[in-house]
């Protein structure tokens, strides 16, 4: 993105920055969204191992060379790989199961026009944000 002249984009997230050493020191408390192109970045995080990788895309993509290499690499780092296909559009029953399983401190509705309904669905505190709005938790 920097090469394309979009360096200013990064500064809007500056308050949320976390460095590799912080990830290493807090690994048990961190959830990261990753993709095969990030394998080099993961290798730069000292001591990253023994995690759980949730693969949520269609299982047919696993045989793509970059995805297979990425998953094989994580397996070498003693990661557990769980195949959980998601459509991207969870119904309320599925969302309740996820919240019950993960026990999050907060829920932030995204990709929905009905975020206000979450307050009635969950006992977990709900933080509603508008597009582009940021809130420290």
Q: What pLDDT is recorded for position 87?
A: 66
Same domain? For 5 and 47 the reply is yes
**Domain end (from 71, 86, 101):** 86
Cα 96 to Cα 121: distance, rounded to the nearest angstrom: 8
Q: What is the pLDDT of residues 80-99, one digit of tens each?
A: 999 987 766 778 898 899 99
| Chain centroid to CA 31 | 6
Domain total of the chain: 2
Buried b (16+ CB within 10 A) or exposed e, 91-115: eeeeeeeebeeeeeeebebeeeeeb
Q: What pLDDT is recorded for position 57?
A: 85
Q: What pLDDT is recorded for position 1?
A: 67
Q: Has residue 14 been placed in a domain?
A: yes
Q: What pLDDT is recorded for position 53?
A: 92
> Would you say 126 and 107 are in contact if contact means Cβ atoms under 8 Å apart?
yes
Q: What pLDDT is recorded for position 4?
A: 78
Q: What pLDDT is recorded for position 29?
A: 85
Q: What pLDDT is recorded for position 127?
A: 93
Q: Has residue 137 been placed in a domain?
A: no
Cα 57 to Cα 86: distance, rounded to the nearest angstrom: 6
Answering whether pTM is above 0.75, one says no
Same domain? For 98 and 55 the reply is no
Q: What is the pLDDT of residues 26-84, one digit of tens each?
A: 888 888 888 899 888 888 888 788 889 999 888 888 999 999 999 999 999 999 999 98
Q: Has residue 112 been placed in a domain?
A: yes
């Amino acid at each position: 993105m920097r090469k394309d002249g979009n360096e200013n984009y990064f500064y809007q997230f500056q308050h949320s920055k976390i460095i590799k050493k912080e990830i290493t020191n807090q690994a048990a408390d961190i959830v990261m969204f990753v993709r095969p192109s990030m394998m080099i970045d993961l290798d730069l995080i000292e001591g990253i191992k023994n995690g759980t990788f949730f693969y949520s895309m269609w299982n047919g993509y696993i045989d793509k060379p970059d995805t297979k290499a990425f998953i094989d690499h994580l397996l070498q780092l003693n990661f557990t790989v769980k195949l959980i296909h998601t459509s991207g559009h969870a119904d309320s029953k599925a969302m309740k199961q996820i919240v019950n399983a993960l026990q999050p401190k907060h829920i932030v509705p995204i990709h929905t026009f009905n975020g206000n309904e979450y307050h009635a669905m969950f006992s977990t505190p709900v933080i509603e944000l508008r597009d582009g709005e940021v809130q420290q938790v």
